[in-house]
Amino acid sequence: ATAKQDKTALAQSLTSAIGKAVKAPQTKAVAPLGLSELDRLRKHISDCWQPPIGAKGADQLKVDIQVKLEKDGTVRQAEIADRARYSSDVLYRAAANAARRAVLDCQPLPLPPEKYQLWKEFIFGFDPKFM
């Protein structure tokens, strides 16, 4: 892969990792989160993430966590998005619990307070390929 393809893949994975970021409308007074801010968040959470070890196919499990934050970056709520799969798939449940634990263990999250309206609610995607 070329360096340009790698950068494009990284940008796409970061966008995917954060999901649609925020449901709140953006205002012109607040700049969107930049790649360096998203990368810092991904690294911060990935440092706390301990995926299931030795489980066959664990490297293929993608888990989305719905995150709601306070302005200081502390987690108000972290919920597993795919509750149906969580209830029926033991391996997914282990990966989802690890992902949720990582979000909770790594708080406060390093996000700029002046952009709180952009990140107060978002979906963080855990993908072993990019963590």
pLDDT, tens digit (0-9, with 9 covering 90-100), for 29-84: 345 667 788 888 889 998 998 877 776 776 678 999 999 999 999 999 999 999 99
Angle between the 35-46 and 3-18 helix axes, to the nearest 10 degrees? 70
Give me the mean pLDDT over the 120-127 stretch.
90
Reported as a single tens digit per residue, the pLDDT across 83-104 is 999 999 999 999 999 999 999 9
**Domain map of the chain by residue range?**
3-126
pLDDT at 49: 86
Orientation angle between helical segments 90-105 and 35-46, nearest 10 degrees: 110
User: Residue 6's pLDDT band (boundaries 50, 70, 90)?
Assistant: low
pLDDT at res. 86: 96
pLDDT (0 to 100) of residue 85? 95
**pLDDT for residue 28 is more than 50:** no
Q: Whole-structure pTM over 0.85, yes or no?
A: no
Query: What pLDDT score was predicted for residue 93?
Result: 92
Task: Count the neighbouring beta carbons within 10 Å of the beta carbon of residue 122.
Answer: 23
CATH class of 3-126: alpha beta
